[in-house]
Chain A
Amino acid sequence: MTADAPRGVDAPPEFVQLLTPEGERVEHPDYDIELTAEEVRSLYRDLVLVRRIDLEAVALQRQGELGLWASLLGQEAAQIGSGRALTDADMAFPTYREHGVAWCRDVDPVKLLGLFRGVNHGGWDPAEHNFHLYTIVIGSQALHAVGYAMGIQRDGAEAASIVYFGDGATSQGDVNEAFIWASVRNAPVVFFCQNNQWAISEPLEKQSKIPLYKRASGFGFPGVRVDGNDVFACLAVTRKALRDAREGQGPTLIEAFTYRMGAHTTSDDPTRYRVADELEAWKLKDPIERVKAYLFKNQLADQEFFDKVEAEADTLGREIRRRCLELPDPEPEALFRHVYVDPHSIVDEEREQYLTYLAGFER
């Protein structure tokens, strides 16, 4: 492939797919999935709603209401498929882009907006949702997920952990160490890599000479590549990996082959480094359109259903926008809270001094 050729466009051969971009169901010898019409409609609704949350967030950023936003556009199926494979007892460790997984874990989208607006660093209770805080430092959370899985293992609990990371993250020491720890400890963890083809401006070949899922075999556990734009396949593959983990068969690396349809974040300008054709080609593989086509073709949903989901998305978009704008700025005192659990003389002193200083302006 030349440097400027569209990448990832030709579907790779080794690739679990259950639903084609045209909305045709296909069989796979190792992975199959039985979904009721209701379940498919529900996945469709998830996909549409998280895309709407994302679009609304991008708009809010453009209007100056958020400092930044990392869009999940194009990665909805990877996130909803894997997110819906989790049981309540499973624990997820996200990057900064897992808004779809957050949705599956019932994290209020306004909490995500709050982080990117800069009112706090996240603030949800990881234990309440079994969804850890967003991690911005690339790769760090992989080790946390393994450690958490080691805890599950010691407790003899019926659960697994899953960690999300990108293609770029596979270069980090922490991620490679996590592979080793998980392997030698046989930890119940699923490594879910969303290969969206880019790490900011760097294409995959700056990180790897071999398909990412193949890395797993060198570490001693199975790796599988799934069509990351196929929500059925992502659900089926993640379900199996989680089940294996819970049943004591150790880790799996899943490479969800997908595409970052938008900029890296709202600060990024992808026209500097990638060709427009690539995006056009990937648009044909849209994760939502294929589910819609499938529902239509098999008469599992009518126009009324699609209109209803659309209307729900509109309401959700309006609602989170309103609530985002209403988020109060934190009071200065918040600076000094939660740094330590117990009182800390230096923090206490600085808080007193600073509040006294501020009060001086009010006089």
Chain B
Amino acid sequence: MTTLTLAKALNEGLRRSMEDDSKVLVMGEDVGKLGGVFRVTDGLQKDFGEDRVIDTPLAESGIIGTAIGLALRGYRPVCEIQFDGFVFPAADQLITQLAKMPLRSLGKVRLPVVVRIPFGGGIGAVEHHSESPEAYFTHTAGLRVVACSNPADAYTMIQDAVRCDDPIIFFEPKRRYWDKAEVDLMAAGVPLDRARVVRQGSDVTLLAYGPMVKTCIEAAGAAEQEGRSLEVIDLRSLSPLDMDVVAGSVERTGRCVVVHEAPVFTGFGAELAARISERCFYHLESPVLRVGGFSTPYPPSRLEDHYLPDLDRVLDAVDRAFTY
């Protein structure tokens, strides 16, 4: 066991992937000498060379478009998008090309491209640096979408993502990059498409992913003081979605609160709420409630504490779940 930050765990995972397979490339803006603005690729260029760790031109469409070409030629590019708000220039390549090419070739083409995106707010940043664009991608068939929440998962999930033959959007909770935890560098980890119960409870199920997992664990800790037992599930994968773990929990607790930073309106929580009501209808004591961002652009940083779900807003939803 070693203690690693989430950023360092990703770094170690990428290093392992690059050692294991010479076809793995890292590409993005400032990923070389600088090691990325969050240092996730720190030292990789020094150790694997400029040929495998590529400082790209400042062009996101180019990053994804050329990654597709490299993948067609047998490489496994891991692309870094510097911040969530800067993925949109690449939207065309991601949505019309990367997501659909395997199907168009009737399975002959494989595009094992990983697109790493630091996402979410809470770091006091300027515009476009705190977005939660996951729903755009879960709404795009052909892309897998995952989000890690802690160092141990980050370490194994990034390696699993690189090994996966499908294109993957890999979300990293940027405000948790500096969180530390014990990581077993030998462990295989939970499979990439599985959800995980990170805290057991019996009264309400909290569903979260990425940065909100920690918030929910803290909320569960606080609720315990008040005699309420909350179960917390880290979804880990948004597409595909591990409905067995979700339904198994909700059928026991009868109440569910979904928490994400992205706007609630047509956010990923809407899909969860709909699926749970379809599958667990007779077990539900209350409607599935959602806690998330508002239907407003991400606010300037002096307002972000109002925008972001916090412990109080999660517990408020838990309380409301008992009013039906």
Contact = CB atoms under 8 A, between A and B. Distances in A.
Contacts of A268: 37
Interface residues of B, number: 40
A138 to B, nearest CB: 6
B58 A346 contact: no
B316 A137 contact: no
Interface in B265-306: 265, 294-297, 299-304, 306
Contacts of B85: 136-137
B302 A272 contact: no
Contact of A273 (B34, B56, B62, B299): B34
Given A273-B34, A335-B296, A119 B306 contact: no
B125 interface: yes
Contact of B29 (A202, A273, A354): A202
24 contacts: A67-B301, A115-B126, A115-B300, A119-B300, A136-B127, A137-B128, A171-B62, A172-B89, A199-B58, A200-B29, A201-B33, A202-B32, A206-B55, A207-B57, A268-B37, A272-B33, A272-B34, A335-B294, A335-B296, A335-B299, A336-B296, A339-B297, A350-B294, A357-B313
B307 A335 contact: yes
A330 B316 CA distance: 24
Nearest to B86: A137
A137 to B, nearest CB: 6
A118 B124 contact: yes
Interface in B54-78: 55-59, 61-62
Given A67-B125, A272-B34, A168 B306 contact: no
Interface in A48-68: 67-68
Given A117-B302, A273-B33, 5 more contacts: A67-B124, A136-B128, A199-B58, A202-B32, A335-B299
Nearest to A358: B306
B32 A68 contact: no
B142 interface: no
Interface in B81-109: 85-86, 88-89
Contacts of B29: 199-200, 202
Interface string A178-218: 00000000000000000000011110001100000000000
B35 interface: yes
Nearest to B88: A137
Contacts of B193: none
B30 interface: yes
A207 B316 CA distance: 50
Contacts of A357: 313, 316
A330 B35 CA distance: 36
Given A272-B34, A332-B303, A335-B307, A138 B58 contact: yes
Interface string A22-54: 000000000000000000000000000000000
Interface of A: 67-68, 96, 115-121, 136-139, 168-169, 171-174, 199-202, 206-207, 267-268, 272-273, 329-330, 332, 334-336, 339, 344, 346-347, 350, 354, 357, 361
A354 B263 CA distance: 14
A274 B128 CA distance: 27
Nearest to B129: A136
Contacts of A207: 57-58
A64 to B, nearest CB: 10
Contacts of B56: 206
Contacts of A172: 58-59, 89
Residue of B89, B127, B307, B316 ringed by the most chain A CB atoms within 10 A: B127
Contacts of B127: 121, 136
A263 B23 CA distance: 34
A261 to B, nearest CB: 18
